[in-house]
Structure 1
């Protein structure tokens, strides 16, 4: 085995262990005996959490599919196939860092099964993530006001809603100005991340840095970008609903408002995470945000475990039937040729 590959495996194992230690440390705050709640969930709320997770992933899959179709100037495949690729990327993301999981699960799938060039496939994933990044910034900074004691949770919610309404109005009335601001915002974010050496040394950095040089923005139709923007807003709402349903499934008293204020920070932690499934990073972000929102520390670990377990089971719940459906559909097409 070559030295770079060996070092890569050692680094991967080290980061995985580091993530597990960080996750375990967060769980320690709540006491491991509190996890009896996870063994006996409310199955109605659990089913609702599964459905909420599936709907959320489907919304983001439709957004990505629209970007792919617009980028190539034709419809490549149906929404259910994009949904399947998105589920696959989340499955890969449990063993790889999130950015790498998206590229492997989505871009590689387009390249292999739809015969799309790797350049266009990767560009579609990066453009798709730009919208997550924009909403991450839009909803992330108000949390700083809460953590610093400048604003209450109600004030943060009002600021976030007002900000969304103002920006949405700008998108509809002055689209070209908003698009320029979006590009400037993303470039500023990439440049800011580039200031940290530990991020620049990551394999995913080249993909993140490529956002500064994407020419594909000019190919996308206005309708596609507007559609992606508002689908992202629905997806962000479903992120909150999915997490709240997971909390309800295990009887944890966390409100949707307390969850909503942490969404931006959690997404930022996933973006810079270097561990499989953002283990330790996303959990620390949830912990900081929920403590800042006034949630008791002892119930947060139960929530952290429940949301991870439910998300992974939901991916499996929807992925398996879709896999067999796609296999069956491919066999039918071959027979009809």
Structure 2
């Protein structure tokens, strides 16, 4: 068979490791081609052959050898439907199966093409860890490590100056990064989209923390919201709808309430996406790539591989498309953060 591989959506650590594992697992029995810049490359007919030499040293490299694109939906392409062009490209190039490495957006597009008859295997990719049916996404562990390291580093300057330091993480709809990163980095308050928080209660808790230990750390997901309404911080601050900047806005509001205590914000942004994957993510990426290749060899399509109970399983694309895995109420990590007195509305004085 002639197999094509693409990486869609945002970049994240581990993409190259998946490309490597898929390619090495399928060669030499099958031909493997890489699609440049995700679905954009299928519309533009940008494919290139992949061999062992091209991928062998990719295991620990960040980014993606093939490039990616997070605004290239063929079904909504510059005001028209270009899905027919993708189908023509696949037929013209003789591609018999497509491995799509991507997040919820890319897998939703993949599911639509699967319904059009394309033989597709998905591989879940997102640092947000928010893909339905998958307990752990590669790239997530690497992002959490960045957040935890940032919090540990900022604690020293917070302690030196007697400040409150606010660290903003990614997490539009799901707070997994802020939750695990905040716990790993010793945050005094963790704010996530699933748990709207009370600003006055937060300020009161931080005031007590500063009085007791001389400083405080806040870890906030970009999609965190205030309790008592659906408005985001961006809307509250003047109608801005694009996420990113909640940390600076929160720092301003807390600064108004904490008197002489300085409050500073750090936006980690794309630092969470860049760099080499952790050892955990290298192994998980490799497992996913091998599992996807096995699906191709066995003729199992219309599925995405996923991690459930520390086993790679196959989940129908139809159960993943258009869905989002958020931190559920009653999750053990929520209870852990609440018992420590560092979670949203559950912020309370520690012993």
Provide the TM-score with structure 1 as the length reference.
Answer: 0.30
State TM-score, norm by structure 2: 0.29
Decide which structure has the larger Cα Rg and report it: 2
